[in-house]
Structure 1
């Protein structure tokens, strides 16, 4: 198991140890690390020279070759480990950022995107306009939907926004000091679509307190354009968490920002939430829905062209009468009021106490479900927290309605947001 420096620091603090030991020996300080590498190579060269001069037997030759091999092995291992830490161990493949052109600092918008492109149509519905003005008081839409937030997508153009990055670090109680690095994780950031961006109409900026930290790469901006525009056009603010690392070299700030983003098709649901008094159950571990094959005639209409998508389903307590006359409760899964499957007896037992509570207070429990399929078959996987995982605060603060989004469309009109 590997940890980033920030995660390791929190572990050490939790067990009562000083995080300062992570930087022992000058780790993370480029000048010291370069000096250490230079010294290692000098010692390595002296050792090999001594072996060649003093040992001429086959055994000595094999010993020298072994030392050379070990040196390269440990150096590669250390380099790979550091690269893994810096890359934060993305769960899914992330598009690269090579070849991205970024402007000088005085230009307040990076030209880091390719020529404007339009996202392929997801449905045959018309373009949806903005229904209400965007304001700072609007609701938040967490693109992770409650999943573990892992900063897996690279932000580009950070060097043009060094002052904002420093402010974000200070605001997160991780101030940056000259000739040292600073890192913070879990920083809430907004994802803002900029249709009026003069460099790329698909541009998506990453902002902290409405100040630009950087941009998604051109390729990622195209991939995430549709779901983010749908969120914004619905009058909501798309938010996620970020990891910010920076090193103050004195004359220039080196910075790296990564944000947590799931795959685009798993950000917004394919359908709208049911009407009435509903409450959305927190995201939980995957639960296989059973007997969905008996309802393929319904599910077929919701399988997206990509083959994978997100749905909002409702959960209901149902009773099954056994042959001996005994009654056994279970959880029934419905989509747009139609039955599309059920949960096993064991899994149902984990959710029934929650459903009994919501039904008692007159609410319908909703949950997210991942649909995977084709023209031949479909599979549903529910993501709902168990009753034992629900906090008392969540129960008392209810109901928790699902975010109201505009229907899926080929495109969405969003307000201008380019920061000049």
Structure 2
């Protein structure tokens, strides 16, 4: 642009010099110079505008006729052009994708426009991102988005620890965002909105084994409101598979509590995308259900509560040892019974004896027994036995037993509505 202005100035000077060289007198020369000066002022902008228009047109022609950018690996040919349709990133690829080699790139179909090339490149990037995302996690490759298959039984079995902190992460949510969005709408009554985060802190979740999963025969899927929202990580599925399978063999549906978080945001291509996270409350596998069966007599199970230490376990090791998990702890179902004891002065005192499968494993002290005596007496009037969760830890030669039950003042109102029982897992598995 500077060169155009310099050229216009040189032409102006030459013209002024030619005109002023004529012998027409000083007034004539001045008038001619003034005229050429005004003409130069008027012509300079016109020349500049014309140059801009001409250069813009020339650049467009060059860009139109130039070969496509190598960034998209486009190959021009004189043969008829076959345009490959844009590929959509599969939700569940048939097999892991390997990086493309140079030979693969040379065999790609040609594209007729840059827009189609960009669309294909974007689809390929999304496909690679999908595979890389699954590789970063250790969950089995996800199945195509679908509704969960019909449940063979509608009898839920609430796993122990379902009321604890939800710290077990679910994986594969990225492939089931439509199902998660539907779950959010079911619980909140409205669809996800752009950049509006939604959290459902407590929702029932079903765990279901998926032996037909060809990527991982021990896969465990997570279902919320009938929608498949993800999987347990591969390592977690291997650890929990036996415990979950035992509940299913007994004809029940393993159930726990979950937390769900979701938000809709715009992606790098300006398209709206749902991001979600699901986490579960899960005990260690050996603590998901008791090691023994529920009482055979009529009973009502007390809610889980703070631990109360049992005394005298050393006198009942033969009754405790069958329920010990060496190197760890286990959960059993016990019963609480009121017994009379006479002091040295002949006074009668009531204490609580703890039994597992009808056999005594210890007793509560005179200080802790009064916390449970009112509950025991209340249930006895209704012809029921007080059942409790019992935590056992130790070995065949030494053991510790603790009662995990709510004390009488801690019982919630809903507990008094009727007997609380749990299913027997041996009902169908035997």
Q: TM-score range by the shorter chain?
A: 0.5 to 0.7
Question: How far did residue 343 of structure 1 move?
Answer: 1.0
Question: How far did residue 215 of structure 1 move?
Answer: 0.4
Match of 1:158 among 173, 187, 210: 173
Which structure has more relative contact order (CA 8 Å, sep 6+)? It is: 1
Q: Describe the shift of the 1:306–1:214 C-alpha distance in structure 2 as closer, same or farther (beyond 3 A).
A: farther
The number of aligned residues is 287
User: Within 2, Cα distance between the matches of 1:157 and 1:298?
Assistant: 45
Matches within 5 A, 1:319-334: 319-334=340-355
User: Within 2, Cα distance between the matches of 1:310 and 1:101?
Assistant: 29
Aligned partners of 1:172 and 1:187 also within 8 Å: no
How large is the Cα RMSD of the aligned pairs?
2.4
Aligned partners of 1:189 and 1:240 also within 8 Å: yes
Answer yes or no: is 1:170 the counterpart of 2:185: yes
SS of 1:249's equivalent in the other structure is strand
User: Within 2, Cα distance between the matches of 1:261 and 1:195?
Assistant: 21
User: Within 1, Cα distance between the matches of 2:361 and 2:137?
Assistant: 47
Match of 1:100 among 118, 121, 138: 138
User: Within 2, Cα distance between the matches of 1:356 and 1:149?
Assistant: 30
Match of 1:399 among 419, 424, 427: 419
User: Within 1, Cα distance between the matches of 2:155 and 2:427?
Assistant: 18
User: Within 1, Cα distance between the matches of 2:303 and 2:346?
Assistant: 35
Answer yes or no: is 1:141 the counterpart of 2:157: yes
Question: How far did residue 394 of structure 1 move?
Answer: 1.8
Residue aligning to 1:381: 402
Q: Describe the shift of the 1:209–1:306 C-alpha distance in structure 2 as closer, same or farther (beyond 3 A).
A: farther
Residue aligning to 1:242: 258
Aligned partners of 1:134 and 1:235 also within 8 Å: no
Residue aligning to 1:233: 249
Aligned partners of 1:161 and 1:214 also within 8 Å: yes
Aligned partners of 1:330 and 1:344 also within 8 Å: yes
Aligned partners of 2:139 and 2:171 also within 8 Å: no
Match of 2:292 among 268, 271, 286: 271
Question: How far did residue 98 of structure 1 move?
Answer: 4.6
Answer yes or no: is 1:198 the counterpart of 2:214: yes
User: Within 1, Cα distance between the matches of 2:293 and 2:275?
Assistant: 43
User: Within 1, Cα distance between the matches of 2:202 and 2:363?
Assistant: 36
Aligned partners of 1:134 and 1:236 also within 8 Å: no
Aligned partners of 1:168 and 1:208 also within 8 Å: yes
Question: How far did residue 304 of structure 1 move?
Answer: 2.1
Answer yes or no: is 1:184 the counterpart of 2:222: no
Aligned partners of 1:164 and 1:213 also within 8 Å: yes
Matches within 5 A, 1:3-402: 98-100=136-138, 103=141, 107-108=144-145, 135-136=152-153, 138-144=154-160, 148-173=163-188, 175-250=191-266, 251=271, 252-395=273-416, 397-402=417-422
User: Within 2, Cα distance between the matches of 1:175 and 1:222?
Assistant: 35
TM-score (norm 2): 0.62
Where structure 2 has 5 or more consecutive residues not aligned to the other structure, the ranges are 1-134
Q: Bigger radius of gyration, 1 or 2?
A: 2
TM-score (norm 1): 0.64
1:236-286 deviations in Å (ceiling 9; x for gaps): 111111111122123322211111111111111111112121111111111
Aligned partners of 2:394 and 2:400 also within 8 Å: yes
Q: Describe the shift of the 1:306–1:216 C-alpha distance in structure 2 as closer, same or farther (beyond 3 A).
A: farther
| Larger deviation, residues 214-223 vs 175-184 | 175-184
User: Within 2, Cα distance between the matches of 1:305 and 1:314?
Assistant: 23
SS of 1:166's equivalent in the other structure is helix
Aligned partners of 1:368 and 1:384 also within 8 Å: yes
SS of 2:230's equivalent in the other structure is strand
Q: Describe the shift of the 1:210–1:354 C-alpha distance in structure 2 as closer, same or farther (beyond 3 A).
A: same
Question: How far did residue 407 of structure 1 move?
Answer: 7.8
Question: How far did residue 341 of structure 1 move?
Answer: 0.5
SS of 2:334's equivalent in the other structure is strand
Residue aligning to 2:110: none
Question: How far did residue 392 of structure 1 move?
Answer: 3.6
Aligned partners of 2:168 and 2:280 also within 8 Å: yes
User: Within 1, Cα distance between the matches of 2:305 and 2:259?
Assistant: 23
1:151-173 deviations in Å (ceiling 9; x for gaps): 11000000111011111222221
